[in-house]
Structure 1
Amino acid sequence: MDDIEDPSGPSRQELAQREQEEKERKAKEDAEQASLPYKWTQTIGDADVTVQVPATIKGRDLDVVLTKTKIKVGLKGQPPIIEGDFPHPIRADDSTWTLETTRTGKEVSIHLDKVNKMEWWPHIVTTAPKIDITKITPENSSLGDLDGETRAMVEKMMYDQRQKEMGKPTSDEQKKADLLKKFQEEHPEMDFSNAKIG
């Protein structure tokens, strides 16, 4: 007897194909990011960039420029290692860079404070290959680093996003439905059969 596929959902073959495409996309993305002359990570509120430089370099040999919309990092008199526009603005006054000694030499460590604390960046400079920000799992960012109000907002957004994906009501829609139910229970004499919520 043949396996009967569920007509409403994707077949095993489609799922396997999607999984394979996802693996290939991730491998391509990883290769693109690995080929960049810098490494970068981010949380929802900031981004950090590290650039390897020769061990003999001193701070005065560096040419580092951070503005609200642009970054430039390089050695004086040489083409920049990284230069370009940010995908979104930063708070230049709250962003910093340091030259640090590592086991393998030295690196320039740049901390970028995002203006919008609710936005993932697809790349550090707009000319670089993008990462798929829809694949970022919020667990990668430390929600614990956020202040209470921001954290609550991010958690609500994450919850609402998951609910939408499952076709369930968002927290606001659930709240409205709960309020209406409570009101109906308190006022059984009223007829809500034609009530429209929204």
Structure 2
Amino acid sequence: MPGSPTPEEQKQADAELKAKEDAEQAALPYKWTQTIKDVDVTVSVDAKYKGRDLDVTLTKTRLKVGIKGQDPVIDGDLPHPIHVDESTWTLETTKEGKEIAVHLDKVNQMEWWAHVITRAPKIDTSKIQPENSNLGDLDGETRGMVEKMMYDQRMKEQGKPTSDEQKKLELLEKFKSQHPEMDFSNAKMG
């Protein structure tokens, strides 16, 4: 296709975009990370501050973090809603002083955020490499569903029936044994 970049050109363009993104994120007055389920934000503050000196507001769609009487460090709309009752903030002591640590619990735990507040520079969420999860991290129902899907995939690869197909065959065999008078020679499974 004419005009398509070569793999080398695409790699260079991706590297330039990543460098620009990294510079924008480094310039923010806060640091943030995320998993598919939550977002963690940290704001460094002077060691002299106590919890009562802080002005932190969490609502379903808005975040404000700062020191009372000063312009807030973060003040804006969240790109997606959060569970307010599951979200928290703390003031923690670090080697450099103190930091306000804000934990935001995402309502939609199936999407990545491009930024913490809507007027901040975005990151390219298509480049996020999620950490591998273990089956043990999943709740019982989800784990069972994933294990069934993995089993069915293995059976298909071996040319064997999946768990659902095995259940149908077992039901048919049971029905056949209960009704020996019926002719199943032309029966087809569908």
What TM bracket, shorter-length normalisation? 0.7 to 0.9
Once the two structures are superposed, residues 15-70 of structure 1 have per-residue CA deviations (whole angstroms, 9 ceiling, x without a partner) of 00000001001111111111100001111111100000011111111000000000
Instruction: Show structure 1 runs of 5+ residues with no match.
Output: 1-6, 160-170
> Which residue does 1:131 correspond to in 2?
123
Give the 3-state SS of the residue equivalent to 2:82 in structure 1.
Answer: coil
Distance 1:22 1:74, change over 3 A: same
| Aligned amino acid, residue 139 of structure 2 | D
The residue type equivalent to 1:55 in the other structure is: A
Report the CA distance between 1:144 and its aligned residue. 5.7
Aligned residue runs from structure 1 range 81-120, under 5 A: 81-120=73-112
Q: Distance in 1 between matches of 2:135 and 2:18?
A: 25
Who is 2:54 aligned against? 62
Closer/same/farther in 2, CA of residues 103 and 142 from structure 1, 3 Å limit: farther
Letter of the aligned partner of 2:72 in structure 1?
Answer: P
Q: CA–CA distance in 2 between the matches of 1:21 and 1:110?
A: 34
Q: How far apart are the structure 2 equivalents of 1:128 and 1:154?
A: 36
Identity %: 62
What is the RMSD of the two structures over their aligned residues, measured on CA atoms? Answer: 3.6
d(CA) in 2 for partners of 1:135 and 1:70?
26
SS at match of 1:134: helix
Aligned to 1:73: 65
2:36 aligned partner: 44
Instruction: Say which SS state the counterpart of residue 64 (structure 2) adopts.
Output: strand
1:142-189 deviations in Å (ceiling 9; x for gaps):
87644354568899xxx9xxxxxxxxxxx8xx8xxx77x999xx9996
TM-score, with length taken from structure 1: 0.70
Aligned residues: 167
Matches of 1:142 and 1:127, distance apart in 2: 35
8 Å CA contact retained: 1:44, 1:141: no
Amino acid at match of 1:33: Q
Letter of the structure 1 residue corresponding to residue 43 of structure 2: V
Counterpart CA distance in 2 for 1:78 and 1:150 is 46
Gaps of 5+ in 2: 173-183
The structural deviation recorded for 1:125 is 0.3
TM-score normalized with structure 2 length: 0.72
Greater C-alpha Rg: 2
